[in-house]
Amino acid sequence: MSTPSIITAAETETPDLHVLERPPQVLNNRGPLWVTDAVCSIVEGKTPLWWYAAIAFTGTFAAIGGACILYMICTGVGVWGSNSPCFWAWDITNFIFWVSMAHAGSLISALLFLTRQKWSLSISRAAEAMTVFAIVCAGVYPAIHIGRVWFVWFLFPVPNSYGMWPNFLSPLLWDVFAVTSYLTVSSLFWFAGMIPDLAVLRDRATTKVRKFAYGIVSLGWLGTARQWRHYEMMYVLLAGLTSVLVVTVTTIVASDCATSVIPGWHATIFPFYFMVGAVYSGSAAILTLLLPLRLIYPQLRDLITPSQLDKVCKLLLMMGSCVAYVYVFELFNAWYSANPFERGAFWERFTGSCSWYAITCLSINLTVPQLFWFKAVRRCLPLVFILAILCNVGMWFERFMIVTSTLTHDFLPSSWGNFHPTIVDILTATGTLGIFFTLFLLFIRFVPIMSMNELKAVLPGTQPHAGAGHSNNSTEETH
């Protein structure tokens, strides 16, 4: 596909048809062995010093976050700033922030796999890992935000001597099932994709422990044609399931807000709102994770190409524009509804006690992604990194704006209130960041961070129709 010069005008007899060259997915004409070495060397080499330093740093934050959670459980939710009327504050803000970030990982890996978008192959594994770890971080909050965490089993249909049963009409219960099935399926999808690559690590292992450990997790993979046949069928099915779950899970998380009657939440646009916000924040998160990785491991620069990163930036731009549309539409809707409570909620959002959250959110999310219209911006990777982090920050403020600013101002002036985070709120939030990055560092060190088997399939030399482009006019003699 990368050598259209072979096809001369005379051979194809379509002199005016100009076949655009597809950008190669792996640069510098690398071979399959090079790909294996490049990816495996990250796992097999000596643990670098920066890795120890980084995991000590993130692990400390994670430990402080854990200590805060323990303190909260032992003392009560009063150690948080959450109080009437803002019963949902940083806890649910962080939950939605993380669970939304998870969605882009699934979307990029599963949906782009199903639509045969080869450009996502190099980033899909890291995106799936991000999904799983983000769900883990999200999962911390629903359990602890109930305050009495030892009653968390009330959420599950367990036969008990209290005669209690969950209320299946509640969107909060749908949430439990949505997030747990999402965690299950996305973990399976992530793991299933890794099996052939883990078998490679097993075969290359030099110590007994590594051989044993990778032997267990590669589930007896031998790479026979029969195994590949079943494997690919399973992978397609899991990809289909994951793609559907992305939509349903976001919709259900959005229902937590949308099925209530609170002005500012009670809107049918919420599922779409959460969906585009999810993909937007997730794309930004992928860029935030991949760009430093590419800096640390130079061999990855041939695998994660500028053209692929360019496409992620475009995805970010598109989703950022959708998010901007929703912001404007929400305001229009509040005005057009002629409902004083609805109008009041939005007026309060931008002028009230929590207004700086909304102003930060809008000023980032309306401007930063729009910079990606410019190719020069998309190609300047340090700038992309900074802008991606800004997008994530903006999305966190958006989640806070939706969840907590709305709660400060409902129908009755007597139940209007304010929210101030405590130090425990803040350290718990940084703690989940610590958990996320700790898990990601472990992922880099112990698991192949790219799908070697899929990457090898798009190497220039391994294409059965190499040189034929994707035109149906291509004929056998071009080989």
Partner 1 sequence: MSNFFPRWANWLPLQLLVCGLVIGGPITLGIWYYFTPKYTRVGYQPDQPVPFSHALHVKQLGMDCRYCHSFVEVAGHSNLPATQTCINCHGQGKILPNSPRLAAVRDSWETGQPIPWVQIHRLPDYAYFNHAVHVNRGVSCYSCHGAVNEMSVVYEAESLSMKWCLDCHRAPENFLRPPSEIFNMNWHPASPEAQRELGTKFKEEWKVNPPVNCGGCHR
Q: Minimum distance between the CB of residue 202 and partner 1, rounded to whole angstroms?
A: 6
The 108-147 contact track toward partner 1, x by CB under 8 A, reads: ----------------------------------------
Q: Minimum distance between the CB of residue 217 and partner 1, rounded to whole angstroms?
A: 11
Specify which residues 86 forms β-bridges with. Answer: 83
Q: Minimum distance between the CB of residue 208 and partner 1, rounded to whole angstroms?
A: 8
22 vs 211 by CB, closer to partner 1: 211
* Largest separation between any pair of C-alpha atoms in the chain: 83
Ranges within 186-225 binding partner 1 (CB under 8 A)? 202-203, 208, 211-212, 215
165 vs 374 by CB, closer to partner 1: 165
Q: Minimum distance between the CB of residue 372 and partner 1, rounded to whole angstroms?
A: 47
- Residue 106: name the closest of 86, 85, 123, 89 by CA: 123
Do 66 and 431 touch, CB atoms closer than 8 A? yes
Tell me the CB-side half-sphere exposure of residue 428, using CA atoms within 13 A. Answer: 27
Of 52-60, 161-169, 366-374, 376-384, the window that binds partner 1 (rule: CB under 8 A) is 161-169
Q: According to CB under 8 A, which one of 47, 115, 161, 414 is a site residue for partner 1?
A: 161
Q: Minimum distance between the CB of residue 213 and partner 1, rounded to whole angstroms?
A: 10
Q: Minimum distance between the CB of residue 152 and partner 1, rounded to whole angstroms?
A: 16
162 vs 382 by CB, closer to partner 1: 162
Q: Minimum distance between the CB of residue 211 and partner 1, rounded to whole angstroms?
A: 6
Residue 152 makes contact with partner 1 by CB under 8 A: no
Determine the Cα angle at 351 with ends 346 and 357, to 5°: 85
For residues 300 and 42, what is the distance between their CA atoms, to the nearest angstrom? Answer: 10
Of 159-167, 317-325, 344-352, 377-385, the window that binds partner 1 (rule: CB under 8 A) is 159-167
Residue 29 makes contact with partner 1 by CB under 8 A: no
Q: According to CB under 8 A, which one of 164, 237, 295, 328 is a site residue for partner 1?
A: 164
Backbone angles phi, psi at 291, to 5 degrees: -65, -45
Tell me if the bond preceding 369 is cis, omega within 30° of 0: no
**What are 38's two structure tokens?**
């490049």
Of 71-79, 82-90, 125-133, 158-166, the window that binds partner 1 (rule: CB under 8 A) is 158-166
Q: Minimum distance between the CB of residue 91 and partner 1, rounded to whole angstroms?
A: 22
Q: Minimum distance between the CB of residue 215 and partner 1, rounded to whole angstroms?
A: 4
Do 304 and 122 touch, CB atoms closer than 8 A? yes
For residues 386 and 429, what is the distance between their CA atoms, to the nearest angstrom? Answer: 21
Of 33-41, 157-165, 238-246, 439-447, the window that binds partner 1 (rule: CB under 8 A) is 157-165
- Residue 91: name the closest of 34, 148, 144 by CA: 144
Q: Minimum distance between the CB of residue 136 and partner 1, rounded to whole angstroms?
A: 24
163 vs 382 by CB, closer to partner 1: 163
221 vs 440 by CB, closer to partner 1: 221
For residues 334 and 343, what is the distance between their CA atoms, to the nearest angstrom? Answer: 5
Buried b / exposed e over 28-59, threshold 16 CB at 10 Å, is: eebebebbbebbbebbeeeeeeeeeebbeebe
For residues 129 and 438, what is the distance between their CA atoms, to the nearest angstrom? Answer: 12
Backbone angles phi, psi at 457, to 5 degrees: -70, -15
The 259-298 contact track toward partner 1, x by CB under 8 A, reads: ----------------------------------------
For residues 186 and 364, what is the distance between their CA atoms, to the nearest angstrom? Answer: 30
- The residues, any chain, with a CB within 8 Å of residue 368's CB and separated by 6 or more, are 320, 387, 390, 391, 394
Residue 160 makes contact with partner 1 by CB under 8 A: yes
33 vs 162 by CB, closer to partner 1: 162
Q: According to CB under 8 A, which one of 15, 163, 298, 413 is a site residue for partner 1?
A: 163
Backbone angles phi, psi at 145, to 5 degrees: -75, -15
Burial of 70 (0-12, 13-18, 19+ CB in 10 A): exposed
Q: If you search the block for the tokens 């130090």, which residue do you land on?
A: 423
Tell me the CB-side half-sphere exposure of residue 188, using CA atoms within 13 A. Answer: 16
Of 96-104, 156-164, 306-314, 374-382, the window that binds partner 1 (rule: CB under 8 A) is 156-164
Q: Minimum distance between the CB of residue 192 and partner 1, rounded to whole angstroms?
A: 20
**What does the chain come to in residues?**
479
Q: Minimum distance between the CB of residue 210 and partner 1, rounded to whole angstroms?
A: 10
- Binding residues with partner 1: total (CB under 8 A): 11
153 vs 356 by CB, closer to partner 1: 153
Do 314 and 379 touch, CB atoms closer than 8 A? no
- Contact positions vs partner 1 (CB under 8 A): 160-164, 202-203, 208, 211-212, 215
